[in-house]
Amino acid sequence: MLTLFAVNKNEDNECWALKNADYRLGFDIGFFIAHGLIFPLLMSTFGFLTICNIRRQQRYSDQQNGTSNLRRYRVRDFRRMTLVQTACTIIFILPYVIQKLHRTVTDSDCERPEEVAWERLSLCIVRVLCVDLLHAFYGLNYHFNFILYEQYRSYRFIFYFISKYNFDIICSQHLPFIVDRIIDLSLSDRENTPGQINLLLSYIPSFSQFTQLRSLSIFHLHSYNILMKIVNECHHLNHQIFNQLST
């Protein structure tokens, strides 16, 4: 079984992954059929069968006891819930399985630049959907938060044009849970993002928490004290870091 796997070095984090062979292609096709097609189809089928059964019972009950508006409203709401649940499942699962299958088919060591660009564009679209999931479902309960955070193995944060309000939300609500999976961090003290670097240091006082950080870029830094604090913290980083400083 281990001969079917190899260390995948194309990803941000090295991990055991299926080799580029017929087995991997068959696995991704099976994943696509099971999670992208069969699961939404079965869920919608059982949902509509349940609706039909409820309506059949409703007609029988109406013949016996008269029409009930409350029961009719409940059936209508259940029908809407089934439609929305099926649509959400297709929207949020299908892009991922398509992108997974696409990576298997097009994975090659000699890809042309335009192929790499299109692949990255498709990956960005999928990640945008995942980010929308984070904003939509974060904070509902502990289980939702755990599932959302487990979807990502690595993070890249580029805070050049983010507002102070959103930056503060990310640092206070999300950063403590994912700091050990950040691989790329870019900060700026420009006119539209003043005090950004110092604010981050107030939430993350020690760089020892950035256990996976590989790239650190800091722009428009005007404080010597903050610069020395960053330099002194760099020895906590485990990986070889690409540093980029600009004043």
Q: Does some domain include residue 115?
A: no
pTM (predicted TM-score)? 0.43
Query: Tens digit of pLDDT for each residue in 97-134?
Result: 666 666 666 554 445 665 556 555 655 555 555 455 55
Tell me: do 11 and 94 sit in the same domain. Answer: yes
pLDDT attached to residue 13 = 45
Q: Does some domain include residue 59?
A: yes
Q: Does some domain include residue 142?
A: no
Q: Does some domain include residue 119?
A: no
Tell me: do 23 and 99 sit in the same domain. Answer: yes
Q: Does some domain include residue 120?
A: no
d(CA 245, CA 223): 12
Q: Does some domain include residue 41?
A: yes
d(CA 166, CA 178): 16
Q: Does some domain include residue 35?
A: yes
Query: Tens digit of pLDDT for each residue in 65-92?
Result: 665 677 677 777 777 777 777 777 777 7
pLDDT attached to residue 7 = 42
- Biggest alpha carbon–alpha carbon distance for the chain: 83
Tell me: do 7 and 99 sit in the same domain. Answer: yes
Q: Which residues of the chain have pLDDT under 50?
A: 1-19, 108-110, 130
In the DSSP assignment, the letter for residue 208 is G
Q: Are 158 and 183 in contact (CB under 8 A)?
A: no
Instruction: Give me the residue label for tokens 């292609």.
Output: 25
Number of compact structural domains in the chain: 2
Q: 92 lies in which domain range?
A: 2-107
pLDDT attached to residue 5 = 44
pLDDT attached to residue 39 = 75
Q: Does some domain include residue 238?
A: yes
pLDDT attached to residue 118 = 58
